[in-house]
Amino acid sequence: MAETDIYARQTFGQKLGLGRSPALLVVDFVNGFNDPEILGGGNIGAAIEATVPLLSFFRAKRLPVIFTRIVYAEDGSDTGLWCEKVPRLRDLTEHARASQVVEALSPQRGELIVRKTQASAFFGTTLASLLAFRGTDTLVVTGCTTSGCVRASVIDAMSNNIRTVVASDCVGDRAIEPHRANLFDIGQKYADLLEAREIMKAIEA
């Protein structure tokens, strides 16, 4: 018997499916997380490349696109325990190059950018209320890191009763084992896992 059989026996991993009104959430695909010398590494670069066609698809369909950035005050006045645990996060200020969305995914006019100081795109932000206002019932999630800000955002999406689909080839982490383990766990408890091509096919249908 496989070690993972217990999940099936306990009814984990049920499919939620797509709702009627999806939006794309691009979590922290910024320069600093695409640079192994700052906060990046692993398969994050490949995940960014895989996100390019998915982003283009959402734009072509005129579906909402939302980006997140970690942004702290220049003087560090809004930093907390997370920055004590990971001091390099303090460098992610509004105008720092490390905090800007990577050029390949650069936001367009009218696309929402959520600035946050914690892992989740929802914690301390207006994201949940804006999604409710716009009638969004499904989030397609890309970004990094799988074990950090992606996971936190997906859990909070579930907590807000928003259907969530993680684009499995469009999320990345600085190390592969945490990426794989967290992706598996997310798929069992909080979201559906589909590749970008499967998501585009489902939305087309």
Residue 40 — pLDDT band, cuts 50, 70, 90? Answer: very high
Structure confidence by residue, pLDDT tens digits, 168-200: 999 999 999 999 999 999 999 999 999 999 999
Q: How many other CB atoms are found less than 10 A from the CB of residue 195?
A: 14
Q: What Rg do the C-alpha atoms of the chain give, in angstroms? A: 16
pLDDT at 3: 73
Write down the domain spans for the chain. Answer: 20-204
Tokens representing 167 are: 């684009």
Residues designated as active site: 149
Tokens representing 37 are: 């010398």
- According to CATH, the topology of domain 20-204 is Rossmann fold (3.40.50)
- Within 12-137, strands assigned E span 22-27, 65-70, 112-116
pLDDT at 99: 98
pLDDT at 2: 74
